[in-house]
Each structure stands twice: as structure tokens, then as C-alpha cells.
């Protein structure tokens, strides 16, 4: 990157700015970036003359979109759960495995005993898979430690990813993910004695950008989640929630009452929850990878979300149990095929609305003033991104104005 502005020409751009034109598409477009920011976007014919002397890159007709954003992941974890995959194929359900001490708790054991460096190198392989598909921003949750030391270790690993790779990382404290074995049957004590103190310690060390929980029969009820959210509020941290994934406990409504950034999964979300999310401006994060892996049959209420103009984001939910998925492009395809999202909704879900789910207003669209994070694709039309299965047409990734080859 030079100090001179950089001009990208000979491209079609999907600005993803919500407007009358599908995808905010501009043909024969140009983009000017300076330092880490976009300074001008539009039809090439309208390019202001002062940018004529910029360092110019010919994109040879390729499509530019905002870089992708994966707004819900559990990318840092120890071990894997291939054995559980086998058990599920032999007939056991996700809930049965969890109740028998498998599931999240088995990843907790592995994460506690894996060193910080090993967790990092393992996570980087998954991060690299996302980078290869044009992802520039990821959210990473803790929640496989369930003791203070390991929760903090996971969050430090998440922060280190941004030093190791050209990637922006947003961390989320998910201490209320499951009850650890040493607190079996004592969920309230776990929340008070471990989860809340660990949240305060992680926050004091600058390791937390947001707070999440798992509101479900196999995890925590709304009263327990509310206690964690009260502390988040005291600390000035935004909240989000794994809600209504396997049943309806009213988690989304609770989250909305705290002004949550997002309610995630939401297969069992009802009219009441949708209305609460709409009035709080809470984003719906759709996670088709977990739906697919667990062979769920209850589809999130997409039409209701549309009717209430609730922004829908998409994410991989990358985790070793319910969604061992590290492809956001495949996630987009699944959202269309399984949940009937349009390819435009899918791309908005992995860009503009994913940014909203992270509380970012300077990312996820191609707008002057936004960060210059783009993906350059070898496709003609943006619908191709969600249409193909297992194909990666990324040509170049641009991160903070810096051009990388894919």
C-alpha cells in the first residue's frame, strides 16, 4: 500500500447498500481507497478527475463485494468430536450425547488440557480456510473453558489470531455455554461462582467485546442468563444469545429486553420473540450449519423475520460439535436451499447484516468512509456466490486497503 490513493477499475461491484437496485450493483464501476478506507465508489464514468493519477489496478471484469464477515463462531477449541458424529449416525441425539457427558463438555475437557500455543495453531487452520473465501472479520466465542483460566486462555488465543493473520477478530465471552461437570446439577452456583467472576476478570484484561449465553434446557434458563446479562450491562458490554435452537424458552425476548445485538439459531422463535427483536433492533443470526448437522426439521421463521424487517445475518457457527463448518460460502448455499433465503439475502447476511450483528457500522458495505475490506471474485453475477456448492471463486482479497492474492 502506498500513500497515494489506489484505484480499482474494470469491475462490477455489489455495494450491498440496501437500495432499489438488487445487491446495490454498479456495472463498469471504480473504487478508490486510501490508507485503510474507501474514499470513493461509483460508475467509472463518474470518477472525479483528482483520482485519475491513483495507482490503478485493472480487475479484468471481476465482481467486487464487501469482504465476508463470519459473525458467530466457536473457532478456538481443543480436540474434535468425530466420535460423536459416529454416535449420532448410530442413532444418538445431540441432547442425549450432551446429557451423557459428551457434547460441549467433552470439548471442555480437551480445551482445558490443550496449551495456548496449540489452541492457536489449531484455530489458525480454520481461520485460513475462512480467509481463503474472502472473510475479513470473524467473531470468536469462549465457552469451552467453563473455568476462569481456560475462558481467559481461549479469549487470549482469539486476540492473538488478529496478530497472526490479516483478520479483524471480535471476541465474545460465552461462560454461560454449559454447566461444567464439577458443577453438575448446580447451574446457579456455576453462574455466580465461576461465570460472572470470569467475565469480570476477562473484561478487566480487555479480552471481551460482547457477552453471549446458551439459553436452552440442556444449558441455562432465562433467569440465569439475565444474571449474566446484568453484569454485562454494568460493564458496558453488548449482549447476544443462543436462543430458541432446540426449544422455545423465550430467550430471544429476554435478549431483546437487554437491547441485544443478535439472537442466534432461533429455529423455535415465535411471534412474540420476533416482535421483541423488531422493536429492539436485534439482528437474527441464522446458522444453517448446525441445523444441517443436527438434522433439525424446525426451520427458523424466515417469513416472519422478513415481515418485521429484522436484518438476517448468516454465520458458520464453526464448532467441533454441532457445526464443524468453516465455509461461509457453503453456509450461504445452505441458507438458500434449507431456509429459502434469496442469494441476495444470503450475501447481505454474510456482509451488511453480519456487520450489524457485531455492532459495526463501518463495515459490510462498499461505502465511502468504510474500511477497505473487499473480496474480488471470478464470477459474473453475485448470485453465483450462494449458488455453487463446494466451489471457491475467490480471486483476490483486499484487507484494509492491502491487496492480497488468493
Binding site, annotated residues for Fe(3+): 72, 74, 242, 317
Pick from 28, 106, 100: nearest CA to 64: 28
Q: Does 317 bind Fe ion (CB under 5 A)?
A: yes
Read off φ and ψ for residue 339, nearest 5 degrees.
-115, 0
CB of 177 vs Fe ion, minimal distance in Å: 8
Q: Does 12 bind ligand NIG (CB under 6 A)?
A: no
Strand order in the sheet with 135-141: 68-70, 135-141, 168-176, 210-215, 240-243, 262-265, 283-286, 312-314
Stretch that binds ligand NIG, among 16-24, 100-108, 164-172, 379-387 (CB under 6 A): 100-108
- Strands, E assignment, 114-270: 135-141, 168-176, 210-215, 240-243, 262-265
Q: Which of 79, 252, 102, 258 is nearest to 181 (CA)?
A: 102
Q: CB of residue 273 vs ligand NIG: minimum separation in angstroms?
A: 17
Question: Nearer to Fe ion by C-beta: 84 or 317?
Answer: 317
245 binds, among Fe ion, ligand NIG, none (CB under 5 to 8 A by kind): ligand NIG
Which partner from the list ligand NIG, Fe ion, none does 33 bind, CB cut-off 5 to 8 Å by kind?
none
Taking CB under 6 A as the criterion, the residue among 11, 12, 54, 245 binding ligand NIG is: 245
Cα–Cα distance between 256 and 272 in angstroms, integer? 11
Please say whether the beta carbons of 212 and 239 come within 8 A.
Answer: yes
Residue 319 is a binding residue for ligand NIG (CB under 6 A): yes
Which one of 63-71, 82-90, 267-275, 312-320 is the stretch in contact with Fe ion (CB under 5 A)? 312-320
Interacting positions 131-160 with Fe ion (CB under 5 A) = none
Q: Which of 214, 374, 377, 399 binds ligand NIG (CB under 6 A)?
A: 214
CB of 323 to ligand NIG, least distance (A): 6
Residue 323 binds which one of ligand NIG, Fe ion, none, with CB within 5 to 8 A depending on kind? ligand NIG
CA–CA gap between residue 71 and residue 216 (Å, rounded): 21
**What's the CA gap between 340 and 206, in Å, rounded?**
40
Residues 331-360 that bind ligand NIG (CB under 6 A): none
Among 3-11, 99-107, 161-169, 358-366, the segment contacting ligand NIG (CB under 6 A): 99-107
- Stretch of 46-54, 222-230, 312-320, 348-356 contacting ligand NIG, by CB under 6 A: 312-320
* β-bridge partners, 40: 32
Among 290, 312, 318, 379, binds ligand NIG (CB under 6 A): 290
Closest CA to 155 of 226, 113, 204, 191: 204
Q: Is residue 394 within 8 Å of 351, Cβ to Cβ?
A: no
Residue 377 bridge partners (DSSP): 63, 394
Question: Judged by CB under 5 A, which stretch of 15-23, 249-257, 314-322, 392-400 contacts Fe ion?
Answer: 314-322
Task: Work out what residue 104 binds among Fe ion, ligand NIG, none; the CB cut-off runs from 5 to 8 Å by kind.
Answer: ligand NIG
Give which of Fe ion, ligand NIG, none residue 107 binds (C-beta under 5 to 8 Å, depending on kind).
Answer: ligand NIG
How many residues bind Fe ion (CB under 5 A)? The answer is 1
In 312-351, which positions are buried (b, 16+ CB within 10 angstroms) versus exposed (e)?
bbbbbbbbbbbbbbbbbbbbbbbbbebbebebbbbbbbbb
The answer to whether 107 contacts ligand NIG (rule: CB under 6 A) is yes
The C-alpha angle 327, 12, 330, rounded to 5 degrees, equals 15
Site string for ligand NIG, 54-93 (x = CB under 6 A): --------------------x-------------------
Helices within 77-180 (DSSP H only): 82-89, 94-99, 104-113, 116-131, 148-164
Among 238, 251, 321, 401, binds ligand NIG (CB under 6 A): 321
Query: Contacts with ligand NIG: how many residues (CB under 6 A)?
Result: 14
Task: Answer whether 1's CB lies under 8 Å from 401's CB.
Answer: yes
Closest to Fe ion by CB, 209 or 317:
317
Positions in the binding site for Fe ion (CB under 5 A): 317
Positions in the binding site for ligand NIG (CB under 6 A): 74, 103-104, 107, 214, 242, 245, 290, 317, 319-323
Amino acid at each position: 500500500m502506498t500513500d497515494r490513493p489506489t484505484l480499482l477499475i474494470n469491475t462490477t461491484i455489489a455495494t450491498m447498500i440496501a437500495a432499489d437496485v438488487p445487491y446495490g450493483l454498479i456495472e463498469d464501476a471504480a473504487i478508490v481507497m486510501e490508507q485503510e478506507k474507501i474514499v470513493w465508489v461509483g460508475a467509472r464514468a463518474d470518477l472525479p478527475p483528482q483520482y485519475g493519477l491513483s495507482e490503478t489496478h485493472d480487475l479484468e471484469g471481476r465482481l467486487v463485494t464487501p469482504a465476508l464477515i463470519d459473525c458467530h463462531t466457536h473457532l478456538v477449541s481443543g480436540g474434535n468430536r468425530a466420535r460423536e458424529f459416529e454416535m449420532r449416525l448410530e442413532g444418538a441425539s445431540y441432547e442425549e450425547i450432551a446429557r451423557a457427558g459428551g457434547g460441549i463438555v467433552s470439548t471442555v475437557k480437551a480445551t482445558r488440557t490443550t496449551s495456548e500455543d496449540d489452541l492457536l495453531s489449531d484455530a489458525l487452520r480454520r481461520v485460513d480456510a475462512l480467509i481463503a473465501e474472502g472473510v475479513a472479520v470473524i467473531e470468536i466465542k469462549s465457552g469451552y473453558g467453563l473455568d476462569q483460566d481456560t475462558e481467559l486462555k481461549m479469549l487470549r488465543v482469539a486476540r492473538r489470531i488478529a496478530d497472526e493473520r490479516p483478520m479483524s477478530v471480535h471476541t465474545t465471552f460465552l461462560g454461560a455455554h454449559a454447566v461444567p461437570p464439577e458443577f453438575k446439577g448446580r447451574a446457579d452456583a456455576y453462574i455466580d461462582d465461576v461465570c460472572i467472576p470470569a467475565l469480570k476478570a476477562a473484561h478487566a484484561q480487555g479480552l471481551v467485546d460482547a457477552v453471549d449465553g446458551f439459553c436452552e434446557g440442556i444449558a441455562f434458563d432465562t433467569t440465569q442468563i439475565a444474571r449474566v446479562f446484568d453484569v454485562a450491562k454494568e460493564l458496558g458490554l453488548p449482549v447476544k444469545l443462543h436462543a430458541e435452537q432446540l426449544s422455545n424458552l423465550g430467550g430471544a425476548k429476554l435478549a431483546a429486553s437487554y437491547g441485544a445485538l443478535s439472537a442466534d439459531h432461533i429455529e423455535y422463535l415465535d411471534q412474540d420473540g420476533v416482535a421483541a427483536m423488531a422493536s429492539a433492533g436485534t439482528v437474527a443470526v441464522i446458522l444453517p450449519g448446525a441445523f444441517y448437522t443436527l438434522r433439525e426439521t424446525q426451520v427458523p421463521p424466515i417469513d416472519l423475520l422478513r415481515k418485521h424487517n429484522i436484518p438476517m445475518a448468516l454465520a458458520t457457527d464453526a464448532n467441533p460439535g454441532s457445526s464443524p463448518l468453516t465455509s461461509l460460502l457453503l453456509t450461504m448455499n445452505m441458507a438458500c436451499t434449507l431456509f429459502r433465503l434469496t442469494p441476495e439475502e444470503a450475501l447481505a447476511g454474510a456482509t451488511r447484516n453480519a456487520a450489524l450483528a457485531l455492532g459495526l457500522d463501518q463495515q459490510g458495505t462498499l461505502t465511502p468512509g468504510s474500511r477497505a475490506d473487499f473480496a474480488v471474485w471470478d464470477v459474473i453475477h453475485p448470485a453465483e456466490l450462494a449458488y455453487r456448492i463446494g466451489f471457491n471463486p475467490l480471486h483476490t482479497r483486499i484487507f484494509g486497503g492491502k491487496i492480497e492474492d488468493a
